Amino acid sequence: MDHLDHVLRQWQAERPDLDTSPMGVIGRLSRASAAVDARLAATFTAHGIDAATFDVLATLVRQGPPYRMSPAELAADAMITSSAVAQRLNRLERGGWIRRQPRPGDGRGKLVEITSAGRAVVDQVLPDHLATEESILEPLSAGERHQLAQLLAHLTPST
């Protein structure tokens, strides 16, 4: 009897003419995501950064050498606007974690490169971050995790 059970019961009493069952799934998805975000944020705060910072730095690291991406690629990867990327990069550049370089052969473009300080942040935070994710998933068996990932993939068209 979680929160969504209560919500569905209320709807059933107030609007018995409607099939409100989809709310049970979508509502739990929304609340699970918010709960997970909150737990991840705590780890980032403990390391003096936030999720947006880690997101950009980790995305650059996982590209492998030479650890460079265009702002547009970063935007697509993080599912945010190019404007939001520009503002994130301003902060990260002020902090000395990334550098902007001109893109060879295209005077419009830039390449974002992580600095050694930025690499160090990822090296320090990543193990803790993974441990937090692992502890979030602790209630699920390996099979259940796989099953959950599969089901979620069906809700995410073409990303």
- Binding residues (CB under 8 A) for a second copy: these are 2-4, 7, 10-11, 13-15, 18-26, 28-37, 40, 61-64, 79, 126-127, 130, 133-134, 136-137, 139-140, 144-145, 147-149, 151-157, 159
Which partner, a second copy, DNA, none, binds residue 62 by CB below 5 to 8 Å per kind?
A: a second copy
Which partner, DNA, a second copy, none, binds residue 7 by CB below 5 to 8 Å per kind?
A: a second copy
Q: How far apart are CA 59 and CA 116, in angstroms?
A: 15
Question: Considering the complex, what minimum distance in angstroms separates the CB of residue 47 from DNA?
Answer: 14
Q: Which long-range contacts (CB under 8 A, 24 or more apart) does 21-30 make?
A: 27/3, 28/2, 28/4, 29/155
Scan for tokens 């509502």, then name that residue: 27
Given a contact cutoff of 8 angstroms between Cβ atoms, the answer to whether 130 and 94 are in contact is no
Of 82 and 147, nearer to DNA (C-beta) is: 82
Q: How far apart are CA 96 and CA 70, in angstroms?
A: 18
Of 41 and 61, nearer to DNA (C-beta) is: 41
- Of 113, 62, 61, 52, give the one whose Cα is nearest residue 85: 52
Question: Considering the complex, what minimum distance in angstroms separates the CB of residue 95 from a second copy?
Answer: 22
Coil vs helix vs strand at 109: strand
Per-residue mark of binding to DNA, 94-123 (x: CB under 7 A): ------x--x-xxxxxx-------------
Token digits of residue 127: 């193990």
Residues that bind DNA (CB under 7 A): 50, 52, 70-72, 80-91, 100, 103, 105-110
